[in-house]
Amino acid sequence: MTRRSRAGARVPGLLAVLVLLAACTSGTGGTGDAADRSGPAPSTTTTAGGAMLDNPVLGQGADPFLVHTEGQYHQIMSASDGNGVVMRSATSLATLSTAPEQTVISGGDGGSPCCEWWAPELHEIDGRWYVYVAADDGDNENHRTYVLSADSVTGPYTFEGRLRLPGDRWAIDATVFAVGDTSYVIWSGWPGATNGEQDLYLARLDSPTSVTGPVLRLSRPELDWETHAGDVGVLVNEGPAALVRDGRVFVTYSGSGCWTPQYALGMLSADTGADLLDAASWTKSPTPVFAPQEGSGLYGTGHNSFFTSADGSQTWNLYHAVTNPEGSCGSDREVYAQPVTFAADGTPQLGTPSADPVPLPAGDPGQ
């Protein structure tokens, strides 16, 4: 199975945690109501260097993911009530935040779970489009990853059922990538049957809805920077995003609790020719590669994804952050973007989080 192109910060399920965060989020992992989420379109200004786009580029939202294909950006996200998935599309990043929302699926349709649809992602595999998303029956302990499919990026989408992962355990934030003709999935899951720690797992896909062979625990929260848990006490690795470039695989992920201001991005890397299911093939960065910086006014800078500019020449980092210095997993999260550069050895350089304006992605026609 080959993958032809590629372009949920989370509240733990403990009842006490849900009560703690109920005042600031409309359902765990939710992004607030649609009217608040949209807001005004980010403005563009023209400078001597060209058009600039204000940050946050996509307004209110969390766990952002978009692709550019066939002349349009397509952003996929949880529905405003958390119980389904929606998409919006536009020719420019400058107008995407105010584009109308199209329903991809409503919770309960086609035998799907009712509730708490988190961190949907959109991927093209062998000429079809697939949505990977976590959902449950209203009880976070029953979160599993599900798959939708369609012939076209805009649908209509069919509910394919659960992504068949070994162990039938809690599983969220699935992302997929390919090395040659081999496709893989990474997800965030509990190492056991109860909450307390979220680890990253890697397995090979034998179809868009099932895995084969062994499973590797790719990362667990063990470094100082990724073990901030506040009063909640849950240790977190989540939100993986993969880049395959120049013979190497790079996986960014979010460490520490999304409810803390220290929520940040780490990175794992491996050679594409190595056995990716062997832990020895991977190197883990000892420090975060993208983290809140003093004076930036942004906190909880995590759960990123990557997208390609309209002309295919640039890679961009899309992430959510809050301006609350205490951190937040609530509806005050907003979506920011900035271009990625690469070191001489090909390693992505994400820079530092910033609310400063950014140039329009290359090839973007603007407003």
Which tens digit of pLDDT belongs to each residue from 141-174? 999 999 999 999 999 999 999 999 988 899 999 9
DSSP state at residue 279: G
Q: Measured between alpha carbons, how far is 349 from 30 in angstroms, rounded to an integer?
A: 29
Instruction: Go through 99-113 and write b for each residue having 16 or more CB atoms within 10 A of its CB, e for each that does not.
Output: bebeebbbbeeeebb
In a domain, 8, yes or no: no
The C-alpha angle 211, 217, 219, rounded to 5 degrees, equals 130
pLDDT of residue 151: 98
- Is 298 among the domain residues? yes
Return the number of other C-beta atoms located less than 10 Å from residue 167's C-beta: 13
Amino acid at 4: R
Q: Is residue 9 part of a domain?
A: no
Q: Which residues contact 324 (CB under 8 A, 6 or more apart)?
A: 261, 299, 300, 332
CA dihedral angle for residue 275, residue 191, residue 285, residue 243, rounded to 10 degrees: 60
Q: Does 367 map to a domain?
A: no
pLDDT score of 365: 95
Edge-first strand order for the sheet with 65-69 is: 65-69, 72-78, 84-90, 102-106
pLDDT for 167: 85
At 241-258, the pLDDT tens digits run 999 999 999 999 999 999
Cα distance between residue 265 and residue 336, in whole Å: 14
Average pLDDT over residues 73-78: 98
pLDDT in tens, 296-331: 999 999 999 999 999 999 999 999 999 999 999 999
According to DSSP, the residues that pair with 46 across neighbouring strands are: 51
Average pLDDT, the chain: 89
| Inside any domain, residue 1 | no
Q: Report d(CA 347, CA 245) in Å as an integer.
A: 9
In the three-class reduction of DSSP (H, G, I as helix; E, B as strand; rest coil), residue 4 is classed as coil
DSSP structure class, residue 312: S
Q: Could you confirm whether 136 is annotated as catalytic? A: no
Strand partners, 272: none
Domains: count for the chain: 1
CATH number at residue 97: 2.115.10.20
Query: Would you say residue 2 lies in a domain?
Result: no
Residue 346 has pLDDT above 60, yes or no: yes
Contact indicator for 251, 241 with CB cutoff of 8 Å: yes
Average pLDDT of 100-110? 97
Tens digits of residue pLDDT in 28-60: 333 333 334 655 667 655 444 468 999 999 999
DSSP reduced 3-state for 250: strand
> Smallest Cα–Cα separation from 329: which of 92, 54, 99, 21?
21
User: How much is the average pLDDT of 207-214?
Assistant: 95
Nearest CA among 78, 59, 135, 97 for reference residue 333: 59
The mean pLDDT value for 184-205 works out to 96
pLDDT of 8 > 70? The answer is no
Task: Dump the DSSP string for 25-40.
Answer: -SSTT----HHHHH-S
- What would the pLDDT profile of 112-137 be if each residue is shown by its tens digit? 999 999 999 999 999 999 999 999 99
Point out the catalytic residue in the list 199, 226, 238, 332. Answer: 238
What is the dihedral angle through the alpha carbons of 355, 360, 365, 367, rounded to the nearest 10 degrees? Answer: 20
Distance between CA atoms of residues 195 and 238, nearest Å = 14
pLDDT of res. 36: 45
Q: What percent of the chain has pLDDT over 90?
A: 84
pLDDT at 31: 32
CA distance linking residue 284 with residue 80, whole number of Å: 35
The Cα–Cα gap between 229 and 108 comes to 33
Q: Is position 238 annotated as part of the catalytic site?
A: yes
3 domain-assigned: no
For residue range 219-234, what is the model confidence (pLDDT) as tens digits?
999 999 999 999 999 9
What is the extent of the structural domain holding 173?
Answer: 15-359
Q: Does 25 have pLDDT greater than 60?
A: no
322/261 Cα distance (integer angstroms): 8
Residue-level pLDDT at 367 = 82
Rounded Cα distance, 82 and 116, in Å: 5
**What single letter denotes the amino acid at residue 21?**
L
- Render 59-120 in DSSP notation, one character per residue: -B-SS-EEEEETTEEEEEEE-TTSSEEEEEEESSTTTGGGSPPEEEEETTGGG---EEEEEE
- Asked if residue 292 is part of any domain, the answer here is yes
Checking if the pLDDT of 286 tops 90, the result is yes
